[in-house]
Every structure is written in structure tokens, then in C-alpha cells.
A and B are shown apart, each in its own frame.
Chain A
Amino acid sequence: QVQLQGSGPGLVKPSETLSLTCTVSGGSISSYYWSWIRQPPGKGLEWIGYIYYSGSTNYNPSLKSRVTISVDTSKNQFSLNLSSVTAADTAVYYCARVRAYYYDSSRYYFDYWGQGTLVTVSS
């Protein structure tokens, strides 16, 4: 059973960079895409971006200028950096495994999720 565990600081100052890591256990990070999704308190879900184990990425245009997702296959981890944060970036950040449709390898859904990490942006 694949498990994802997110980790990182729960408090980040405005204008600084939010950095989170997701550790994958129970399976290899290879041959899959991996994603970050966030949820502001009391609100809905927003896709941030995904990365293939080889390193290719796709980001939400609304965040693209501030987002970097990277992967470390040797540690079975992938990471999120979000720069120049403001209070609007306060959210629970989820990491998730991306699964391709069996009949269309270019389209995806999220089949395993981490528990979520609450990140508050405040001075």
C-alpha cells in the first residue's frame, strides 16, 4: 500500500519561500507522476502542479511564476517550493500520486493522498 507523508514548516513569513517535502513509502517513485494540491481553510481544492519521476513538470499557470516542484528518486521524495508567499497562500498542502487513465496515458487523476500539512503565512 503506497503511503505519502508530507513534511515541512508550519509557519512561513510573508515574502519568504514555502518548502515542503513528500516522502513516498510502500512503492517506488519511479514510473509515476506526483502532484501538490492545496486547500485554504474552509475552502475548496486547488491543483498546484505535478512532476514525473524523470523531472518533467506541469504547473498551474496561476502559480507558475512562483512554483518549483522537484524530485529525488534516490530518497523516494518530491518537493514543493513556493516563493514570495502572502497570507493568501495559507492552506493545507497535500501531496498526491497521479494516476493515468488506463485508456489515455496523457490524462490523470489522484489515487493516493498524503495527510496534508497546514502552512500558515504570518509574520
Chain B
Amino acid sequence: DIQMTQSPSSLSASVGDRVTITCRASQSIRSYLNWYQQIPGKAPKLLIYAASSLQSGVPSRFSGSGSGTDFTLIISSLQPEDFATYYCQQSYSTPLTFGGGTKVEIK
């Protein structure tokens, strides 16, 4: 199985901050990496697919980059509705696997 490791596991930030979350795969997954946002009590929501493609309807302050084993999700200017947990997920091979999550909290 491909292991997905996210860092940090949690962070505190203020509205307007630039936030960077990283995800590392245990082997190359090319660009088969997706990002999801989960607000407490809600289902995950797709933000980014194929490492850098923004899902329709997702604000442009979210961006993704990377290929191979190292990937990054950036929120350019954190908004109140962005406080949530973020998960990466690899699509390179089954079993499909997720990172452990990064919780973004209010400073």
C-alpha cells in the first residue's frame, strides 16, 4: 500500500494568513494526488484533483502543486470558512489511501 504522510498534523493561523500543507507519498504517484476539505460534522469536499486542478466552484485562493512524492496545498489568504481538516489522497494505485489529515485552527 502507498502511505501518505501529511505535515503538520495541525496548525494555528489567523484570517488572512498564507497556509501551506504538505503531503508526501511513500513512492512516486506521479500527479495522481487529490485534496479534500472536511468541516467538522460534514462530509469531505473535493478541492483539488490531479495535484493542481481546481475543482469547479472552489475559490481560487486554494492551489495545489507537486509531483512524484511531494505535494503542497496552499491557501493564499485564509478565510473564516477555511478552518477545517484537510486530507490528501493518492489515486495512483489501489488500495486508494488518504493522509492522516491536517487540522487548521484559529489562532
Contacts and interface: CB of A to CB of B under 8 A. Distances in A.
Interface of A: 44-47, 58, 60-62, 94, 99, 101, 103-104, 107-111, 113-116
A114 B43 contact: yes
Interface SS of chain A: strand
B95 A62 contact: yes
Interface stretch (B13-21, B44-52, B66-74): B44-52
B45 A109 contact: no
Chain B's interface: helix, strand, loop or mixed, by majority?
A: loop
Contacts of A58: 94
Contacts of B42: 115
B101 interface: yes
Given A46-B98, A47-B98, A62-B95, A116 B49 contact: no
A26 B8 CA distance: 38
A109 B33 CA distance: 9
